[in-house]
């Protein structure tokens, strides 16, 4: 068994009444979706993803930003959930209660079989009007990668934008309240593949820890470990560590 799975951690997860799983881009990396702090490739290699994920970028160059999101939507549509997503879904079927909160805008948790997933940064499959917020039906995926003019809103003629949360925008209120409430009431948190740099999502493990929960973090990079107090760090790829962890806790 992985030596980082200490008997103490295994026992705390086994007896937990409510586990919060918080995922970031690293959870989908093994499915072929680049993380935010990874360099982009191809046509997009000149751009910093964190610079494209803003309303200022969209207003300055809508075709660039819409094209990038349509490229990512196509990428997600062509990717499959990985063993990490499947282990989380299995955890939901074995543990008493598991709430999955994701910062990811893909639907790979759902496709792996997870239910009730809380998307705190929105969804790449739910475009809406930039001006009046009316939802826009997703269009057929573009054949080629590159700049694309955003469609127009059928209500007001405004530009359609991706249904995701950009920097400086509030998180969807209901989703955030549910995520916060899960953090305050859970007894264990499993944090998967996030750099923990983006707030307020990065605060959820700290909130839970303050309320007495144990926190375990799965990440390839030890520097991603939050610095607050006694946490368990499970170094490695989500697709390897999570299935082994689920097997160890619920044999
Ligand atoms: C693996 C792996 C493998 C790889 N296995 N691991 C100063 C202090 C505090 C806050 C702020 C501040 N200045 C500004 C802010 C606020 C800002 C913020 O946090 N900025 C920071 C950068 C400092 N936050 C916001 O603006 C948020 N809104 C807000 O605060 O609203 C307030 C408000 C209230 C009322 C009115 C108005 C406003 C909104 C944040 C929205 C974030 N949006 C994005 C884009 C989403 C759409 C899209 O997908 O394009 O969300 S940015 C991007 O970062 C995306 C991600 O969800 C998010 C987090 O990234 P994540 O998931 O952690 O990915 P990476 O790439 O960073 O890390 C991957 C990790 O995986 C790494 O650690 C790898 O090692 C690891 N890994 N492979 C395991 N196989
Ligand atoms: Zn509109």
Is the pLDDT confidence value at 27 over 80?
yes
Is the pLDDT confidence value at 226 over 70?
no
Q: Which residue's CA is the nearest one to ligand 1's atom 66?
A: 36
CA angle 131, 132, 137 (to 5 degrees): 100
Is the pLDDT confidence value at 55 over 90?
yes
- Ligand 1 centre from 3 Cα, in Å? 30
Q: pTM higher than 0.75 for the full model?
A: yes
**pLDDT value at position 102?**
99
**Ligand found nearest the CA of 156:** 2
| Ligand 1 pocket test, candidate residues 24, 102, 161, most atoms within 8 A of CB | 24
pLDDT, tens digit, 9 for 90 and up, residues 64-95: 999 999 999 999 999 999 999 999 999 999 99
Mean pLDDT of the chain: 93
Is the pLDDT confidence value at 164 over 60?
yes
| Ligand 1 pocket test, candidate residues 2, 4, 21, 25, most atoms within 8 A of CB | 25
Q: Ligand 1: does its nearest atom lie under 6 Å from the Cβ of 24?
A: yes
> In the structure, what pLDDT confidence band is assigned to residue 1 with cuts at 50, 70 and 90?
confident
C-alpha to C-alpha distance for 89 and 109, rounded to whole angstroms: 7
> In the structure, what pLDDT confidence band is assigned to residue 241 with cuts at 50, 70 and 90?
very high
Is the pLDDT confidence value at 43 over 70?
no
**pLDDT value at position 131?**
98
Is the pLDDT confidence value at 54 over 70?
yes
* 3-state helix/strand/coil string of the chain: CCCCCCHHHHHHHHHCCCEEEEECCHHHHCCCCCCCCCCCCHHHCCCCHHHHCEHHHHHHCHHHHHHHHHHHHHHHHCCCCCHHHHHHHHHHHHCCCEEEEECCCCCHHHHHCCCCCEECCECCCCCEECCCCCECCCCCCCCCCCCCCCCECCCCCCEEECCECCECCCCCHHHHHHHHHHHHHCCEEEEECCCCCCCCHHHHHHHHHHCCCEEEEEECCHHHCCCCCCEEEEECCHHHHHHHHHHHHCC
Instruction: Kindly state the average pLDDT of the residues 33-39.
Output: 84
Is the pLDDT confidence value at 166 over 70?
yes
Q: Which atom of ligand 1 lies closest to the CA of 200?
A: 30
> In the structure, what pLDDT confidence band is assigned to residue 4 with cuts at 50, 70 and 90?
confident
């Amino acid at each position: 068994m992985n030596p980082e799975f200490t008997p103490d951690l295994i026992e705390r997860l086994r007896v937990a009444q409510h586990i919060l799983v918080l995922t970031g881009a690293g959870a989908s990396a093994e499915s072929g979706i680049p993380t935010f702090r990874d360099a982009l490739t191809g046509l997009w290699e000149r751009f910093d993803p964190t610079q494209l994920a803003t309303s200022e970028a969209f207003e300055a160059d809508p075709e660039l930003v819409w094209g990038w999101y349509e490229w990512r939507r196509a990428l997600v549509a062509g990717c499959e959930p990985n063993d990490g997503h499947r282990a989380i879904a299995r955890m939901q079927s074995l543990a008493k209660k598991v709430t999955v909160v994701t910062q990811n805008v893909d639907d790979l948790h759902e496709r792996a079989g997870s239910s009730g997933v809380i998307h705190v940064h929105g969804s790449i499959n739910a475009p809406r009007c930039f001006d009046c917020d009316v939802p826009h039906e997703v269009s057929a995926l573009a054949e080629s990668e590159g700049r694309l003019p955003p469609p127009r809103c059928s209500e007001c003629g405004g530009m359609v934008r991706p249904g995701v949360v950009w920097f400086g925008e509030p998180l969807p209120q209901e989703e955030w309240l549910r995520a916060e409430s899960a953090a305050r009431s859970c007894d264990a948190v499993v944090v998967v593949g996030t750099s923990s740099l983006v707030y307020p999502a990065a605060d959820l493990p700290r909130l839970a820890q303050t309320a007495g929960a144990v926190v375990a973090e799965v990440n390839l990079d030890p520097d991603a470990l939050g610095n607050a107090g006694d946490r368990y760090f499970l170094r490695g790829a989500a697709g390897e560590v999570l299935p082994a962890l689920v097997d160890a806790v619920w044999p």
